[in-house]
Amino acid sequence: MAKLEMMKGGGRKIYLPDIVQSDCSLFTKLLPKNCNTKFISITGQDGSGKTTLRDNLAEYFAKQGKTVITAKSPCDKHTVNLLNHAISQNGYEDWYTEQLLFSFMDGVLSNYMVQLKGRCDYFICQRGPIDQYAHGVTRSGKEYEEIYKIQRPERLEKFDVYLHLNCEAKTAWERIKEDEGKDRYEYFEYFEKQVPNTKILYDNIVSGNYPELDFLRSSKHHYIDTTAYTTEKVMEEAISLLKEEK
């Protein structure tokens, strides 16, 4: 049975894995129909506040009576375990298989987005296909073109809005260093590389100089530096930016 968290105001907040059935199809019988679904991706630096913003936005819209589905990409825990514990470990480096798995999960997420179009008011995803061009570049050292050739993003459903969150590496590390369950890329030296790549990606999307990023240009993009921001300030700015899109 799907877990639907009812909110004051009549809205619902649903975590995507809670409506994925044993055969990997989605349980949608309890979802509304004929919604004008807004697809939002919260992307960017680890420790910049993506999870918190995703959950706060979901609660905000649900309290307004909206049906909100939240997700995190990759959206399958078994694939995440493979990426964290089986691929490129113990001296064995296999960037190609890693990239194939990330690209496979982009396709799974896209399939879910197709099924949920019109069935919720907001779909808010932490990360998404875009992250292969910042986190993926940092992880592998590859160019956009090499990632694009494997991912083939033109096949994927499009997000309406991307919120790019970033912060200084030291700030990011201080925020997450005590967290349990950190993945193998969540360490300070990695963050020092990831932070500039996150900003470079945003700038390259806006500039339009890389054809490999063309699939992102039909979406709206907003950049928020959360280094000196409280959670409340990040939320306030995000809501303001999203209101501009209406």
Chain centre distance of CA 176: 18
For 199-214, what is the mean pLDDT? Answer: 96
Following DSSP, what letter does each residue of the chain receive, concatenated?
Answer: ----EE-TTS-EEEEGGGGB-TTS-B--TTS-SS---EEEEEEE-TTSSHHHHHHHHHHHHHTTT-EEEEEESS--HHHHHHHHHTSS-TT---HHHHHHHHHHHHHHHHHHHHHHTTT-SEEEEES-GGGGGTHHHHHH---HHHHHHHH-GGGSPPPSEEEEEE--HHHHHHHHTT-TT--TT-SHHHHHHHHHHHHHHHHHHHHT--GGGGGGTTSEEEEEE-TT--HHHHHHHHHHHHHHT-
Rounded to whole angstroms, the Cα distance separating 229 from 48 reads: 10
Q: What percent of the chain has pLDDT over 70?
A: 93
pTM of the full predicted structure? 0.93
**pLDDT greater than 80 at residue 57:** yes
Q: What is the pLDDT of residues 58-73, one digit of tens each?
A: 999 999 999 999 999 9
> 26-30, 69-73, 87-91 — which is least confidently predicted?
87-91
pLDDT given at position 9: 58
**pLDDT greater than 70 at residue 219:** yes
Q: What is the pLDDT of residues 109-137, one digit of tens each?
A: 999 999 999 999 999 999 999 999 998 89
pLDDT given at position 1: 45
Following DSSP, what letter does each residue of 164-192 receive, concatenated?
Answer: EEE--HHHHHHHHTT-TT--TT-SHHHHH
CB 177 within 8 A of CB 52: no
Rounded to whole angstroms, the Cα distance separating 53 from 7 reads: 18
CB 197 within 8 A of CB 137: yes
**pLDDT greater than 90 at residue 107:** yes
> 11-25, 72-86, 134-148 — which is least confidently predicted?
72-86
Rounded to whole angstroms, the Cα distance separating 231 from 23 reads: 38
Q: What percent of the chain has pLDDT over 90?
A: 76
pLDDT given at position 90: 63
Cis peptide bond prior to 129, omega within 30° of 0: no
